[in-house]
Amino acid sequence: MVKGGKVVGIITETDMIRALIDLEET
């Protein structure tokens, strides 16, 4: 895990966005 919560937050947000796009593109 990265010490900076910022990186983790960015990864989580990107993951959620990618998941949403995946659901809409299905």
pLDDT of residue 5: 59
In the chain, the amino acid numbered 21 is I
Give me the DSSP letters along the chain.
Answer: --SSHHHHHHHHHHHHHHHHHHHHH-
Q: 1 near 9, Cβ under 8 Å?
A: no
pTM for the full predicted model: 0.43
Model pLDDT for residues 1-26, shown as the tens digit of each residue: 455 556 666 778 888 889 889 888 77
pLDDT of residue 25: 79
Q: How far apart are CA 22 and CA 26, in angstroms?
A: 6
pLDDT of residue 4: 58
Q: How far apart are CA 26 and CA 18, in angstroms?
A: 12
Q: How far apart are CA 11 and CA 18, in angstroms?
A: 10
